[in-house]
Structure 1
Amino acid sequence: MSEREETLSVARAWLDGYLRAWESNAPDNIRAIFAPDAVYRFEPWTPPLQGHEAIVAAWTDRRDEPGSFRFEGGVTAVDGRRAIVEGVTRYVAGTTYSNLWVVDLAPDGRADAFTEWWMDQASKS
């Protein structure tokens, strides 16, 4: 298997784990997808969260309730250990977001760094 194919496989498994964590909001599911000292940015220009405890606390404070959204998308590119995920999140309440995520994967398959861009589709012309 080539490096690209391996990273793609790891990235897809990571995305599956992310979706499990998003749906469950379970701290163990969240920790399972981030390295202990991972850096997480909810928006690219904001100061990052760093480490499991900060990521879990922020995630659970901002959590989406199970069944309140549907995500469609997948890994669209990889470069070395970096994966790009593109998707659309549709909330039951009616808001729809376009998503772009940049995930730097550690050798164990967890994210060392994660940055998300989310764009409200209602603001597009």
Structure 2
Amino acid sequence: MHPIVELAALIHPMPEPGTPDPDDILADVREDVHRLRREYADDLEATAFGSDTDPLIAALQKEQGAKEAADRRIRTLLAYAREFHPPRRYSLHELGEASGYTFSGVRTAYGDPEITLVQGQIGRTPRRAAEEQESP
């Protein structure tokens, strides 16, 4: 097997029988995985060829970028949960367990940039700013 195809197989593993439920969709799921593998391999080959980078290094860089993007999305969700989500306030412990942060890390995981991003995307004022406007 070609190394790029092997990398695609590592990133998009084939499901085991019994994994998708019901079992009768296994063939469809496997077909989707084959498509994802082809797309990944084509993209990785183009990236490696275009930048003269080793495919494994390109794959690691791609996954690092995905990891950073996921972390940004988590911080944005934490800002939303703590600053915008009505009417329930989530505990730091609950948010920490769900996000992979410690309960104290949740407080510092996001800041003004994430709050501004959420505000712009949902078109609402953060809870604390709204509370400050309401109090005399």
What TM-score, normalized to structure 2? 0.27
Higher relative contact order (CA 8 A, sep 6+): 1
Which structure dedicates a bigger proportion of its chain to helix?
2
Higher Rg: 2
Which structure dedicates a bigger proportion of its chain to strand?
1
